[in-house]
Amino acid sequence: MRVFSGVQPTGNIHLGNYLGALKQFVELQDDNECIYCIVDLHAITIPKDPIQLHEHVLDVAALYMAIGIDPKKSTIFVQSDVPGHSELAWILTCSSYMGELSRMTQFKDKSKGQESAPTGIFSYPLLMAADILLYDAEVVPVGNDQKQHIEITRDLAIRVNNRFGDDTFVVPDGRFIKAGARVMSLDDPTSKMSKSAESEMSRISLLDDAAKIKKAIMRATTDSDGIIKYDPVNKPGISNLLSIYAAMSGESIESLEARYAGEGYGTLKKDLVEVVKEGLAPIQSRYAEIRQSQELIDVLKVGAEKANAIAEVTIKRVKEKYGLGIGI
């Protein structure tokens, strides 16, 4: 299977990104042809400091490798190094409707309260659809928050295929995992953990030190009944901690509920601190080795060459279908 996914270089990758998406990236690379992108064009939908953006691109690339994405097995590259993403996004824009884009919940959330929302936030799903369709990807491992964007990608592919033939685009499927598919904010478990949330205590980044991990988990919002039970509707805080615990340790939520029955939240939180620290320690030490290395730049250059080679074939095919260019 051809697998494609990406992460925005908008800050340090957190447990939500890791458990919802990145862990799957690693699992999939042994039996599939995997293409993993750092989606910097998506990051500029909200203005970014250029020097910081560049650093974040390298941070994410180094984290990809630190969590176990092996450049010998998977292609790792930066989105803006492959012009086909922008080209296909425009072509898809011309096959899309304002109505379907206006219905995207992420657009509604991100534009809330703004008199005039940036166009990039509105057309973001078209660039994401282009990212996926450019590589004829069959499988897209993502967190639950991207379900709607996968749906619109499928709709666009089917619409264009109905017009020009089924050999135009591969219609992709999303791949969502159970535990960790939607990690919630630690200080407000009714909203998702996010890189751009103001409060540092809302998330654990993969590079956080032991003291920050402890502080964020011990302060995590829970309820007052003291019962350790997975019930995301009525007990979102403790349910979030249980699902992080399960995803990081591999132990099932049911087994955790049984093991901690009758214990206080403090005991569960203390143990979770250790589980998270142990899980992140090897990632952090590998990251420190890779981040300043020449190997990182070499991997991204080779990755861009490989990605461009695939993208150019798709762009040529799609342009022919639409009657664009003179076929050079």
**Residues annotated as catalytic (active site), given as ranges:** 110, 192, 195
Taking CA 295 as the corner, what is the angle to CA 293 and CA 297, rounded to the nearest 5 degrees?
A: 90
17 near ligand AQP (CB under 6 A) = yes
> Which residue stretch of 155-163, 181-189, 232-240, 290-298 sits at the interface with ligand AQP (rule: CB under 6 A)?
181-189
Residues 78-117 that bind ligand AQP (CB under 6 A): none
Taking CA 219 as the corner, what is the angle to CA 216 and CA 225, rounded to the nearest 5 degrees?
A: 140
145 near ligand AQP (CB under 6 A) = yes
Q: Are strands 33-38 and 74-78 parallel, antiparallel or unpaired?
A: parallel
What is the number of the residue whose Cβ is closest to ligand AQP? Answer: 20
Site size toward ligand AQP, by CB under 6 A: 19
65 near ligand AQP (CB under 6 A) = no
Q: Give the nearest distance from C-beta 196 to ligand AQP in angstroms.
A: 3
Interacting residue with ligand AQP among 29, 123, 168, 194 (CB under 6 A)? 194
> Residue 325 corresponds to which tokens in the numbers above?
């260019």
Q: Give the nearest distance from C-beta 282 to ligand AQP in angstroms.
A: 21
d(CA 114, CA 121): 12
182 near ligand AQP (CB under 6 A) = yes
196 near ligand AQP (CB under 6 A) = yes
CA-nearest of 129, 134, 135, 157 to 2 is 135
Interacting residue with ligand AQP among 3, 4, 8, 26 (CB under 6 A)? 8
> Do 85 and 79 form a contact (C-beta atoms < 8 A)?
yes
What residues make contact with ligand AQP under the rule CB under 6 A?
A: 7-8, 10, 16-17, 20-21, 142-143, 145-146, 181-183, 192-196
